[in-house]
Amino acid sequence: MTRFVLKLEYDGRGFVGWQRQSNGLSVQQVLEQAAAHLCRGVVPPSVAAGRTDSGVHAAGQVVHIDLRDGLTTRAVRDALNYYLQPHSVVVTAVGIVDDPGWSARFSAIGREYRYEILNRSVRPALAAGFVWHVKEPLDAATMQRASMALVGRHDFTSFRAVACQAPSPVRTIDRISVNRSGERIVIEVSARSFLHHQVRNIVGSLKLVGVGYWPETRIAEVLAARDRSAAGPTAPAGGLTLIEVRYPQDPFAGQN
């Protein structure tokens, strides 16, 4: 077998999320069913770098999957995209890794998420499903300053879903930026890995700072509290996109 690495783009609407679930269609199921056409109908298992939730989008999700030897990266890309066709999921790049222990999930050294807010009175018509619509004016500069308290290695219990199954609540945020571009506020967060709902819970809290409901110093207090109930509500899924996953060596370099 050959370990193929896939880069995926998908519209998270209409999916229960990345992971297979009994209550609806997942991106994983759709991808594995497409891959089964390359495996004589046997559904091959796949592992993703980010287990995106229902409604969360991806521009650069990375997945590994083992397929029979002899397939080219181009053939895998085109065949998967052919069978994925009814769905809003595409494979944008394919690579091959030699190491049988290489994992899209465990070998990743960086993940970047982008969260978009549409900050105006009127609901979105063009970006519906891809932004969080916040009516109250947000002060992006204050949000940016407040977010600095989260950069570095911290116990993120306050920003983790109660259902999060990670053994440790400690994570290291390498970078956060909050930038306004007209009516849009774009929040980018990079870390080696994230806790469940971590980005959405951070955004939900920064929004409370942005509207002036919380002082900017409150984010550091929330972090120190190590208590989920100290943070703001979880921001809606639709504003979130998994942008990029990084590895020690780019598994797509020189391919496609």
Where in the sequence numbering do the catalytic residues fall?
53
Closest by CA to 105, choosing from 243, 246, 11, is: 246
Asked if 67 and 9 touch (Cβ cutoff 8 Å), the reply is: no
Which residue matches tokens 């995106």? 52
Q: Which residues pair with 114 in a beta bridge?
A: 188, 241
Nearer residue to a copy of itself within complex by CB, 42 or 125: 125
Dihedral, CA of residue 122, residue 188, residue 102 and residue 172, to nearest 10: -130
Which residue of 3, 77, 154, 171 would you call a contact of a copy of itself, by CB under 8 A? 77
Q: Nearest distance from residue 239's CB to a copy of itself, in Å?
A: 13
Nearer residue to a copy of itself within complex by CB, 185 or 209: 185
Asked if 142 and 185 touch (Cβ cutoff 8 Å), the reply is: no
Which residue matches tokens 């083992």? 66
Which residue of 2, 19, 33, 81 would you call a contact of a copy of itself, by CB under 8 A? 81
Nearer residue to a copy of itself within complex by CB, 126 or 253: 126
- Report the distance separating Cα 112 and Cα 48, nearest Å: 14
Residues 30-69 interacting with a copy of itself (rule: CB under 8 A): 57, 59
Does 181 help bind a copy of itself (rule: CB under 8 A)? no
Per the structure block, which two tokens stand in for 94? 């394919």
Does 126 help bind a copy of itself (rule: CB under 8 A)? yes
Which residue of 41, 99, 101, 121 would you call a contact of a copy of itself, by CB under 8 A? 121
Closest by CA to 9, choosing from 25, 27, 33, 35, is: 27
Which residue of 128, 141, 224, 225 would you call a contact of a copy of itself, by CB under 8 A? 128
- Report the distance separating Cα 181 and Cα 61, nearest Å: 25
Nearer residue to a copy of itself within complex by CB, 132 or 214: 132
Q: Which residues pair with 175 in a beta bridge?
A: 190
Q: Nearest distance from residue 75's CB to a copy of itself, in Å?
A: 13
Q: How far is CA 35 from CA 4, 140, 191, 242, in A?
A: 11, 43, 30, 22
Q: Nearest distance from residue 80's CB to a copy of itself, in Å?
A: 10
Which residue of 38, 89, 173, 185 would you call a contact of a copy of itself, by CB under 8 A? 89
Does 252 help bind a copy of itself (rule: CB under 8 A)? no
Does 188 help bind a copy of itself (rule: CB under 8 A)? no
Does 22 help bind a copy of itself (rule: CB under 8 A)? no
CB-based burial of residue 253 (10 Å sphere; 0-12 exposed, 13-18 middle, 19+ buried)?
A: exposed
Q: Nearest distance from residue 105's CB to a copy of itself, in Å?
A: 21
**Interface contacts to a copy of itself, rule CB under 8 A:** 9-11, 57, 59, 77, 81, 88-92, 120-126, 128, 241, 256
